[in-house]
Structure 1
């Protein structure tokens, strides 16, 4: 079953301890830093290579990541503040979650698993950034460059472009009037007592034997067809 994507606010809501919330916040901050540094490196490479297209893509990605992360900050601080107030008691001072998260952004440490998460084998994912919308997502492989939503739109655009290209090519091909001087391969083979497949093989593999043959758009639709002049002799 595919794991449903959850926002940082939803993850913090499900967390039951201050230590878990602290670890989640630190991990989220590290992820933000890694995404930003990777995009900056890509921008530097695009500038050095004078690649304008890649420069525009990385700029949009950096803007999208920054807007997404800064947009989530108010909710994160609200969750941490509410959690600290709920756990406050006379015997123990509340843990400064927000300050600890800011101080430990650059520290390397293992993030413990949330206690309320079920322990079961899950499909491994690779952190990635969508090249279209710039939003981070969990990729199934390192070769996956688009988030699932953008991949669906990308595939749809490819299918539409391929269909349009096919229509353009067919529209540009000459359409002979088969009733005026030309007959189909099937009719030509039947006229000489041959099978249509043998005629098709001649035209496909040895077209120089019948130089007057033409491959044209089928007026009934479907694949293109071979036509030859009515008086063409069998080679």
Structure 2
């Protein structure tokens, strides 16, 4: 249950290519905020709990099942337009029913798997107009801080021990070369989105998880006046 306070919470999102360490940072930052007695929640692609509503939670979970817990064999068959609209529905529900109420209650939200990577992926998809994808996500709550974890595609592949899905190679092939080429294009598109001061580009290529967390904590102090000892 969220406790109402006078000041709204801050929305902090983490983005970057597959293998950049987004989930690792998001989880560590959430723990650091809680340890500092900050009211915070971690929201990811499987977060479906709607505060004080079992019925809405069940509905959001059913949508999550369709989008993220489907049989892998159906993905390509449904087509790019279907998945764009399905993802837009998911992000709209999570934003309206989970993120916005938390922020209004003064709870900081750390958002892992933010929509920026979805936009970047569709920008390199020839079947879907980029403007269509952008419009579908334009209504989402604007973040107070976007942490763009920047890493080379080669290093991302190394961190994953060469293991990746067909989607993470843009369904362009099953070779390491396909992964690197696709993730490089996604990185370029993320750079194109970084047009305002809410974006912070963090080169994490040669940094371990602790170093990335320390840098993030400093950014929260400087940018959002959130102090974590």
TM-score, with structure 2 as normaliser: 0.23
> Which entry has the higher C-alpha Rg, 1 or 2?
1
TM-score, with structure 1 as normaliser: 0.22
